[in-house]
Every structure is written in C-alpha cells, then in structure tokens.
Structure 1
Amino acid sequence: MPEFLKPRRLLVAGQLVLTLVLVAFMVVPVVMSVMAGLTVNYFRGVSSGLTLKWLEQVWAMYQDSVWLSLEIALATLAITLAIGVPAAYALARSNTRWARFVEELLVLPIALPGLATALALLSVYGGWSAFRSSMWFIVAGHVVFTLPFMVRSVAAVCAGTDLRTMEEGAASLGASFTQRFLTIVLPNARPGIVAGALAVLTLSIGEFNLTWMLHTPDTKTLPVGLADAYASMRLEVGSAYTILFLLMTLPLLIAMQWLGVDPAGAQSERAAAKRQRALSQSGSPGQQTLTQPVETAR
C-alpha cells in the first residue's frame, strides 16, 4: 500500500480537510460582510468599486453608540474588578460547602437567557425612572452577566497557586493583610485578572439580548445599533457597521491569544512555559514573592 494511503495518514488528511471546511464555513460569511461594507453596490460586487462612504455614514450616525458601549464596558470592568477579584480570592481560600454554593450561584446568570435576566432587573428596578433611563441600568445587567467570568478566571489561578504558604510566610515576617494582598495575591493572580478583564470587555461590548431589553432610545449600544442598521437600512450600511464592530472586538480577541489566555481564564501552555523559564532563571517563586513583604516589614 502506498505511504499516503495508510489509515493514519488518511485520518490526518480527513481531519485537516474537515477543519478547513469548518473554518471556511465560519470565515467566508464574515469576509463577505466586510466586502459588502466596502463596495459601492453589494449586488454588483467588487466591480462596482470600493468605497469608505458607508463607514463614514455609519460613524456619523452611530458614533454616540460606540462611545456609550465603551463607557459601559469600562464601567462594567471597573465594578467586576472591584467585586470579582476579592470574591475569587475568598472562594479560592475557602474549602467549605458554602463557598462552593456561592460559586455555583455566581455562575447561574450564565445558565439563564439574557432576556430572563433583563426581565428580572426590569421587574425589580424598572420603577426607578432615573436609574432605568441611565446607562447604569445596562451596566448593572452587564455586571450580573460578566461577573462569573472574572470570578472563575481569578479563582482558577489562585487555586492553582500555593498562596496560603506564601501568605503565612509573609505574615510571620510582619506583613499585614493589605500588604500580603497587594504584594502576593495580586501579582500571582495577574494572569487570571487579565483573562477576566479581556473577557468582560469583549462580552460587554458584544452583549445584545440583555442590552436589547434594558436599553432606551438614549442608551443604544453598539450591538443594538447593529441590529437596527440591518433591519432598517441598506445592506451596505449594516455591513459597514459590522466592520466597525469588528474593529472594536478583534483587538481584544487578539490580545487574549497574544497573552496566552482564553475567556474562561485558563493559561495556555505557551504562557505557562514562558513563566516557568523566567522563574527558573531568576529563582523560585516563593523566594521572589516573599522578599517584598520582608522589605515592607523592615
């Protein structure tokens, strides 16, 4: 039997072909949408010429939605950092059943449809007109939706690091809880914090279902504007809006890959190998981390 007909090689070739087909199935529509936003007439194709006028039109009409989406995403990130990092640290340090119960409750909003979460918020807080008509109502919904990603990302990193031993060593040298948290916990949890932050920003900018229920005409975000553009305008305008949306989200996705993290907060093998090489060159992690509290205590 020829070499290329061996079962193992055929299996590898089949997997490669299937992967390329699936990639093409997902990528081709995106490419076509981008081309539609850059052509003068989509139905005539590239032969009609390329133009940026659709992007200029979208920016003129929806730039307020772009800035609002960024404001909401940054506000959501600030709140999830302030709440999620300490909560993740506490859950990682605790081995009680209550800690696991709280952790499961935090994941509950992910299991519910965004519309159900939005309806719950409307039924409870919809009567507060000032709050209902402000962007903070959407921020509250985004915090409920994205907080589990921050908590799980940071908790996974903290659980995989022997923080207890390092903190006990620092405490024996006189470091206070604040000093231990700032010089031991946060530096060791940084990969999880970065992963959670990128996930929160990406999810907040792209969230539609929950935002569609919570928004008002004055608080229209990027995904809601995208749906309106496709529903009420010509295809080229909606496609140009898609390009604008991709320009905002793709850098965040590329940053996740570059930093070696994924939205769930897991560290990639490449990033772990880099850290291991750095630690082996500069000394053990315990020695590095404990030197900061020692200097502080002195």
Structure 2
Amino acid sequence: MRDRIIFALQLLFTLIVAAFLVVPAALSIAAGVTVNYFRGIQSGVTLQWVAQVFDLYAGTIMASIAIALGTLLVTLVVGVPAAYALYVRSGRLARLVEEIITLPVAIPGLALALGLLLSYGGFGNFRRSWLFILAGHVIFTMPFMVRSVMAIFASIDVKSLDEGAASLGAAPWRRFVDVIVPNAAPGILAGSLMVVTLSLGEFNLTWMLHTPLTKTLPVGLADSYASMRLEVASAYTLIFFVMIIPLLVAMQWIGEMGSAK
C-alpha cells in the first residue's frame, strides 16, 4: 500500500512538471493556428499566420537551414579527424587540445560572440556575410561533435581496429575512411544531429553576430515577437517546433540505441 502511494505521488509530480513544460508550448502552437487568439478556438482555425510567416521570414528560415548544414559539414570534416587524432594520440598535449576545443561550452554565447567581433569584426566583408555567423556556430558546436565521436571511439576499441587494418597493409587514410569511420557511425550521427539542432536554435551568439541582412530563424522569431501580432509570432514558433522536434526525437532514439548496445 505504501509503495502504491509513493508511486502515485511520483506520477502526479511528474505529470505536473510535464504539464508545466508542455502547456505553454501547446498554447503557443494553438495561437499560431487560431484566427484570433484572444477569442479562442471558437474564432476558427487557420493557416494564414503560417503563410504570413513564410512571406515575411522565409529568408531567415532558409538562412538557418543553410548555416546549420554548413556548420555540420565543417564539424564533420574537421571534428571527426580531430576526435580520432585526440583519441589515438592520447597524452598531455592531446588533453590540452581537447580542453581548448571544449572551452566554448563553458563560455556564454554573448561572450563568445563578443570575442569574435573584437577579433574579426574589422574585416568588413567577412563581418557582413553569413560566414561570420557560420564561424561562430562552428566554434560553438565543434565540442559536441568531438565529444560524441570520442565517446564512440572509446566503446569500439579504435586502436585494435586500426592495428588490424594496418597489419593487412591498409594505408592510414584507408584505415580511417574504410574502417574507423564506419564503426564510429552511431557517434558521428548523434554528433551531427546535435550540431544541427544547436545551430538551428542558437540565439545569443547569433543575435550578437547578425546584421539586418543576415538574420536567422531564432533572431527572426525574436523580431516577430517584438514587432508582429501574437498569432504571427506563435505561427513562427510552430514552424520552429516542426523543424526542431524531429531532430530531438532522433537524438533520443539514437541515445537509446546506444544504451541498448
């Protein structure tokens, strides 16, 4: 009897916390498809606000997707080999480099953006281009790719695989491409999803680095809440959720698959 009461209280507490987190998001989504939020659902359901968001902010959505994919490409090309090198060449220098790579995780996005502005803000064309935001996103997300790949390397005994391929006469690049990368695919995929999700949703760093011509989805979302009617801003939130939630579900699924193994 006592165990049932404890379980019921735990379940009730979990439901309350879940409702506290979910209800605001649900109300925001509802506002984005309601003709008049203040009159409620009885005013009717419409997609006109979603269409208006695409008319006004389609550029920010496409820019965020392009920057996220560009960030993913750079972190894959640089992060996966870096993780391999750090894992294989384990030592004091490797640990120092790893700490430097992961340092942006401990630095607030605004401070990181300020550092980029002070260092490279004087390069006018670079400062005004999408590459400036891309550089910030790469610095911010690189630790998550490196950490994810190094974690999977630790679980598959990379050194034994590398030595086995070397004994068969495979060159270093062939060992990396044909043996190491396929075996590390789960970690690379998890890191990739994390990089894309973080890049799409990053606001603080992007807000400091953007210009009026280089707005991304989170910056456009903030602008819509500041300048547009509630329904339009909520429709923008709906679009943001549609883009982010599948990535979060995929990350959770990959994490569960990794735990099962």
Do Structure 1 and Structure 2 share a fold, with TM-score over 0.5?
yes
Q: How does 1:41-120 map to 2 (within 5 A)?
A: 41-120=36-115
**Residue segments in structure 1 that go unaligned for 5+ positions in a row:** 273-298
Quote the residue 2:231 is aligned against: 236
Q: C-alpha root-mean-square deviation of aligned residues, in Å?
A: 1.2
Q: Distance in 2 between matches of 1:143 and 1:15?
A: 41
- The letter for the 1-side match of 2:127 is R
How many residue pairs get aligned? The number is 261
Q: How does 1:66-215 map to 2 (within 5 A)?
A: 66-215=61-210
- How big is the shift at 1:15? 1.4
The counterpart of 2:258, out of the listed 268, 271, 275, is 268
- How big is the shift at 1:120? 0.3
- The letter for the 1-side match of 2:161 is M
Cα pair 2:80 2:145 within 8 Å, conserved: yes
- The letter for the 2-side match of 1:83 is V
Cα deviation code 1:270-290 (max 9, x no counterpart): 3x2xxxxxxxxxxxxxxxxxx
Q: Distance in 1 between matches of 2:178 and 2:11?
A: 47
Over the matched positions of the two proteins, sequence identity in percent amounts to 58
Cα pair 1:118 1:210 within 8 Å, conserved: yes
- The letter for the 2-side match of 1:136 is L
- The letter for the 2-side match of 1:123 is L
Question: Greater shift after overlay, 116-125 or 156-165?
Answer: 156-165
Cα pair 1:37 1:236 within 8 Å, conserved: yes
Cα pair 1:166 1:184 within 8 Å, conserved: yes
The counterpart of 1:19, out of the listed 14, 33, 47, is 14
- The letter for the 1-side match of 2:259 is E
Quote the residue 2:25 is aligned against: 30
Q: How does 1:247-286 map to 2 (within 5 A)?
A: 247-258=242-253, 260-261=254-255, 268-270=258-260, 272=261
Q: Distance in 1 between matches of 2:134 and 2:195?
A: 12
- The letter for the 2-side match of 1:205 is L
Cα deviation code 1:41-60 (max 9, x no counterpart): 11110011111111111110
- How big is the shift at 1:162? 1.3
Cα deviation code 1:102-133 (max 9, x no counterpart): 11221111111100000000001001010000
Question: Greater shift after overlay, 28-37 or 242-251?
Answer: 242-251
Q: Distance in 2 between matches of 1:92 and 1:157?
A: 10
Q: Distance in 2 between matches of 1:132 and 1:239?
A: 31
1 or 2 for the larger relative contact order (CA 8 Å, sep ≥6)?
2
Cα pair 1:207 1:223 within 8 Å, conserved: yes
